[in-house]
Structure 1
Amino acid sequence: MGYWMFIFDHQKWYDLYEKNCSLKTQDEWYAEGKPNLAIGLIYFLTGLIFELSYIPFMIAMVRKEFFQYSCYKFMFMMGIYDIFILPCNGIITGIQVMKGEHFCHNPKLYYLTGVTGVVGFYGVTTLCVILGFDRFLEMGFPRLAKHAFGGYKTYLWMCVPILYQGYVGFQLPHIFNIKIYAMHHDPYNLIHGMENNSLFNFPAFQTFFAWNNSLIISFLTFFYGGLLVITKMRTKNETSTISKAQKQMTIQAICVCGEMFAAPLLHIFMLFWEFPVFIEILAHFSWICLHGDTPIIYFILNKSLRKAVMKMAIPSIFKFRDSFLKSSVATKTAANRVDASISYIQA
């Protein structure tokens, strides 16, 4: 049902997704769309700003001083996911909302952006569970953490979300729906005569999605709840060997993945019940923020990363300023020479 069908059984994908688009003309599909400049701009600008702000932190994280730690490897991989997801759930959907385009205006593009965003979400949530497990062992059982995540084993753990994405490829994806300004598993939802298609609402998919999100919430609660308890206990213990860096990385991991609780829980309810459109909009906006506000958390909580980014940014600013000043001086010098030549000729 998922992207494997798009790749290996395209005719079946066409019959399920694109064939119904021929039942209406392009003008009729435009009439089904609901353009909204304000919501579209919010989605677009939020996605774009988050996308651009992520880049310097990604560059900083690959430095040896950071990348030697397993948690930074996981955070870097999470950043790769987010950079691919933000154009799909923020930038492109923002343009789609501003134009009021239904799925049928460009079925392949909107299908692939939906698949990328949703499959990426599964990957990021899986990574958050692994990151929580890593931090849990590091803080509570450091010797065991070295055996579980030391050396090349970190890279083996990084394969888990990729393998899980392969399995998710058999599941039904979510696609942006212009009627509700949010993702929905049925691209024809709220289209008269085409809604409530059993192929988009079968129980097996609902069961998988509900179980996936429930397990994510359970694992996150266990690992990050345990982290909070361990951190508090070790902070109170005067003989504790907890370092400032360990505490900082733990708090940062909790903040980065803490918001993963709300989105999966909300989408479980949205799978079985219809909500007002403003709730759907808030859910989609929270999904954009879930993948994009991580650089803000890094900037506020991670002093080392913030310094590394500032060191990269400040020389660039000064270099730009110096080149601008040099060009200004050169322009003024050339202008003075021209004025002097004109004065000499006139004399």
Structure 2
Amino acid sequence: MDDILIYGGVENIPMYNCSARTPEQWSTETGASQPIIGSIQIAYGVVVNLLYIPIIIIMLDKDNFKLSCFKIMFQLAITDFLVIFINSILTGILGIQGAVYCTYPTLIYITGSVAMSLWCSSCCTSLILVCNRLLVMSKPHLESAFFENKKTFLILSCSIIYGICFLFTTPHVYNSKHHAWFFDPMIFPERSKEYDNLPHAINNFSIVVLTCILYIPFYLIVKDNLKGTMTESRLHSTSVLICFSSQVAAIIYVIMNLTEVSAGLILFGHFLWQLVHGAPVFIYIILNDMIRRRFFKMLRCNKNNSTAVGISIINQSNIVPQ
């Protein structure tokens, strides 16, 4: 992002200059319309974000938000909401159009930078949440020392600052031919290696290692507390799925930016990126009893209100003026 300030605009950055062709020519030569995949991704993104809205409202409830875990989950939810808008809704729209970086250079450069920042910030925040849960179940006094009251916000600010740092690294840019986000805008084929993003690779591989290290004691503690219950089985399966998805997505996105891989693997990696940020919605509804009850209660209230309004309108329309 600092290059925008240095050069006075995205299109003025030498490595991102699209002046050799028109946007239409770039789309025709290096892109491909993806109407089916694009439509599916838009639908997925809209559904996930619509479901996330009541969940976010529930998290902000005064009794919930005073708990450190809900503060952390709220930050993750906001991050997920924004990322889903980029990697599903916006990506789907660009895919249907057959867009590439040079079709909308400023839009794609900036959203790619933001997506990079949000991904890395969410990686850090997820680790904070796991640490918080570990301390709550094993060392409550340490949890209070680190997360009591406003201390949680201080720790969460570290993940925000960490994510902001990635705004100043090479951004992801979209390409409809592969229907994924790459560091290489595919303007200068012979210079593709110059777009490599080492901090991103370090972040992703670090997340894989740290997640494995933290999830082992986390699972063992939870298993001991919930031994033999259906909750344990569901929690284990879901935790493994999310952990596995985030790890594989992190690795695939590094590999596909460093070397040539199959189109199927690229699409699978992007799907896992979407799953990592969309799955929490369904996990909250399925596994968190409090959120599930409040969620369906909100839906029933809205349904009842809509029904009441409809009946009122019908009754008013049946009144005959005297």
TM-score normalized with structure 2 length: 0.90
- Cα deviation for residue 11 of structure 1 reads 5.3
Answer whether contact 1:213 1:265 (CA < 8 A) is retained: yes
Structure 1: give runs of 5+ residues left out of the alignment: 238-244, 342-347
Is residue 287 of structure 1 aligned with residue 284 of structure 2? no
Give distance in 1, aligned partners of 2:9 and 2:111.
Answer: 19
The code of the aligned residue for 1:267 comes to Y
What pairs with 1:322-337 in structure 2 (closer than 5 Å)?
322-334=308-320
Correspondence for 1:268: 254
Report how far residue 9 of structure 1 moved. 4.3
Partner of 1:35: 33
Q: CA RMSD in A?
A: 2.7
Residue in structure 2 matched with residue 219 of structure 1 by the alignment: 210
**Shift, 1:62, TM fit:** 0.8
| Distance change in 2, residues 1:27/1:167 (3 Å) | closer
Q: Is 1:24 equivalent to 2:10 in the alignment?
A: no
Matched, 1:230 2:221: yes
In the other structure, the counterpart of 2:302 is 316
Give the drift of 1:265. 2.1
Structure with higher Rg: it is 1
Residues of 2 paired with 1:149 and 1:30: CA distance?
A: 49
Amino acid at match of 1:39: I
- Give the conservation status (yes or no) of the 8 Å contact 1:40–1:95: yes
Judge conservation of contact 2:39–2:92 (CA < 8 Å) in 1.
yes
Tell me the CA shift for residue 233 of structure 1: 3.3
Note the residue ranges of structure 2 that are not aligned, 5 or more in a row. Answer: none
Query: Which residue is equivalent to 2:51?
Result: 53
**1:272, distance to aligned residue in structure 2 (A):** 2.4
Matched, 1:165 2:163: yes
- CA gap 1:63/1:153 in 2 versus in 1, 3 angstroms: same
Q: CA deviation at 1:28?
A: 1.6
| 1:242 corresponds to | none
Aligned partner letter, 1:284? H
User: Residues 231 and 171 of structure 1: is their aligned pair in 2 closer, same or farther, counting only changes over 3 Å?
Assistant: same
Per-residue Cα deviation, 1:231-272 (whole angstroms, up to 9, x for no partner):
2334569xxxxxxx9x89x86994795232221122232232
CA pair 22-158 structure 1, distance change in 2 beyond 3 A: same
Note closer, same or farther for the CA distance 1:26–1:257 as it changes in structure 2 (3 Å cut).
closer
1:61: Cα distance to partner? Answer: 0.6
CA distance in 2, matches of 1:57, 1:330: 35
Counterpart for residue 189 of structure 2: 195
State how far apart, in whole Å, the 1-side matches of 2:200 and 2:38 are: 27
Worse-superposed segment, 178-187 or 80-89: 80-89
Structure 1 residue 147 displacement after superposition = 1.1
1:241 corresponding residue in structure 2: none
What is the aligned partner in structure 1 of residue 293 from structure 2? Answer: 307
Displacement of 1:81 in angstroms is 1.0
Q: 1:62 to 1:114 in 2, by over 3 A?
A: same
Amino acid at match of 2:46: L
- What do the CA deviations read for 1:262-314 (whole angstroms, capped 9, x no partner)? 21122232232211112211211221221122111110001101111222221
Identity of aligned residues (%): 26
Amino acid at match of 2:88: G
Contact 1:255 1:297 in 2 (8 A): no
Q: Distance in 2 between matches of 1:148 and 1:9?
A: 43
Taking the aligned partners of 2:210 and 2:34, their CA distance within structure 1 comes to 38
Give per-residue Cα distances to partners, 1:194-213, cap 9 Å, x unaligned. Answer: 214156335xx33x222211
Greater CA drift, 257-266 or 309-318 = 257-266
